Amino acid sequence: MRLMIIGSLEGHISEAGKIALRKGVQVSHVENIAQAMNALRNGKGADLIMIDVKLDVAELITSLETERMSIPVVACGIGTDATAAVQAIKAGAKEYVPLPPNAELIAAVLEAVAEENTSMIADAPAMRRVIEMADQIAPSTATVLITGESGTGKEVMGHYIHQKSNRKDGVFVSLNCAAIPENLLESELFGHEKGAFTGAVARRLGKFEEASGGTLFLDEISEMDISLQAKLLRAIQEKEITRIGSNKPIKVDIRMVATTNRDLEKEVKAGTFREDLFFRLNVINLNLPPLRERRSDIPKMTQFFITKFCEQNGLPEKIISEDAMDKLIHHHWKGNVRELENTIHRAVLISGPKTIEADAILLTGGINVAAIAKSSTDVKTQEREVSAVSSRGSVEMPKVGQTVADMERNLILETLEHCLGNRTHAANILGISIRTLRNKLKQYSDAGIAIPASGE
């Protein structure tokens, strides 16, 4: 992952950069927005931007949108300046992070953007076969198509292949085709020349040129519009691209790794995916098995996530009871490894000080207030669990006649208050995406319900 920091913030933001570096993030630093835009145009890409809230956040967001650059922005400010935080969020920043930085908070922000973990736990025979194939083909230049259900770890596998390849010293450039608006995706991939469209104030290099000499990872490629697929096919076949607004071909040297959670053969028959592109991508196919087909990996994965989240939250290492582990092993895991990770994160936060018991394993796909209330008969245990989602040590327990929507709203707002308004941290605790959380908060705000400001 690549992080760009804009501004100085009296030296505090450099500490945030050091935290990111310790987590394996590539960090670059510029003093102002103009320098940042120049760097981005010239191929010094970023997966996340952190900017001093005293700078013009709105100007940065507008510049990125005008030049068709899709990069999430996080604003940073000294202390908890609620007004500055609200203004930054309204300008388009995804999050506000108070400084001096908290290592746990920086880690949560980085995790929300990209999980760069190349370690693979593979004791189950189904997964071992995939790893063996990945090890065998990684040194080649062959295009790889990684398939599998959502949450099976396709991006982690992409990083694994890159690290095992002859290009490991080159860059790994990732682009989520589903997350980029259709009108921006072509510019993201191929770049553009000055004047190519309204707002193109300078030449900008795209992901193909950024990734030259390394690996280009296209996530959820099945979401790409079919008209753009033809240009992608040509780029892969000819190993050259043409920037928007130019007729001059540019040679690129990339190894392509793509993913999808759809059946591309069915998409081809439906006319939504080009058959020739499918054959070009599907030179090597690595199909990741769902978690329910590799249950013997669950104990090691669980321990990995326990260690990870205890460390992130400043907690002593916990152990998991046999009953809790049995509950995990026999769950259907519709959300696969991602669901397991969120489940363990919640369990670490709401369990006792030393042991994760079965009643801390909430398997409904989200936090269920009624389950928390019912799971404990002793009041002290119940208070301990509920305190994990409330700074006041209690949440409103379900009442007869209360709707599920009301309970969900109360839980979300209490969790947000517990996290001092930090959306990213609250979403991690709740086990939902930042986008889902923001949509919920917008609904509440539109209904006249007071929402804690970021950083409060």
Written as one letter, the residue type at 110 is L
Pairwise CA distance, residues 426 & 41, whole Å: 34
Between 26 and 348, whose confidence is greater? 348
User: What is the pLDDT confidence band of residue 11, given thresholds at 50, 70 and 90?
Assistant: low
Asked if the model's pLDDT at residue 367 lies above 60, the reply is no
Which range is least confidently modeled, 8-12, 75-79, 379-383, 433-437? Answer: 379-383
pLDDT > 50? residue 390: no
How far apart, in Å, are the Cα atoms of 391 and each of 104, 411, 420? 17, 12, 9
Confidence of residue 31 (pLDDT cuts 50, 70, 90): confident
Determine the topology of domain 292-446 in CATH: Helicase, Ruva Protein; domain 3 (1.10.8)
Higher pLDDT, residue 46 or 218: 218
Alpha carbons 232 and 67: distance in angstroms, whole number = 21
Return the structure tokens found at 194.
Answer: 């000055």
Give every strand in the sheet of 48-52, ordered side by side: 26-30, 2-6, 48-52, 73-78, 95-99
Q: Give the Cα separation of 152 and 130 in Å (integer).
A: 12
Residue 377 has pLDDT above 50, yes or no: no
Average per-residue pLDDT for the chain: 82
Provide the pLDDT for residue 235.
95
Asked whether the beta carbons of 219 and 178 are under 8 A apart, the reply is yes
**pTM to 2 decimals?**
0.63
Q: What's the maximum distance between 2 C-alpha atoms anywhere in the chain? A: 73
Comparing 250-264, 267-281, 307-321, 392-406, the range with the smallest average pLDDT is 392-406
Tens-digit pLDDT profile for residues 45-66: 788 898 988 889 999 999 888 8
User: Which percentage of the chain shows pLDDT scores above 90?
Assistant: 42
Tell whether the torsion through CA atoms of 230, 264, 45 and 98 is positive or negative.
Answer: positive
Same fold for the domain at 2-113 and the one at 292-446? no
Range in 166-180, 286-300, 382-396, 415-429 the model is least confident about = 382-396
Task: State in Å, rounded, how far the first CA of the chain is from the last one.
Answer: 28
| Residue ranges of domains in the chain | 2-113, 125-289, 292-446
The helix (H) or strand (E) run that includes residue 48 is strand 48-52
Does residue 77 register a pLDDT over 60? yes
- Alpha-carbon distance 211 to 418, whole Å? 41
- Lookup result for tokens 């582990």: 325
Domain formed by 2-113, architecture: 3-Layer(aba) Sandwich (3.40)
Question: Which of 77-91, 261-275, 343-357 bottoms out in mean pLDDT, i.e. has the lowest?
Answer: 77-91
* Lowest-confidence segment of 354-358, 378-382, 425-429 by average pLDDT: 378-382
Residue 352 has pLDDT above 70, yes or no: yes
> Are the beta carbons of 222 and 230 closer than 8 angstroms?
no
Q: Rg (Cα) of the chain, in Å, rounded?
A: 23
Architecture of the CATH domain 125-289: 3-Layer(aba) Sandwich (3.40)
The Cα–Cα gap between 126 and 287 comes to 10
- Most confidently predicted of 82-86, 98-102, 153-157: 153-157
Mean pLDDT confidence for 417-427: 74
Cα dihedral sign, 207-210-213-214: negative
Phi, psi at 284, each rounded to 5°? -125, 130
What is the structure's pLDDT at 101? 63
Residue 247: Cβ within 10 Å count: 7
What pLDDT score was predicted for residue 86?
80
**Tens digits of residue pLDDT in 104-126:** 667 667 666 544 445 678 889 99
Q: How far apart are CA 318 and CA 206, in angstroms?
A: 45
Residue 394 has pLDDT above 50, yes or no: no
Identify the CA nearest to 64 among candidates 177, 201, 178, 173: 201
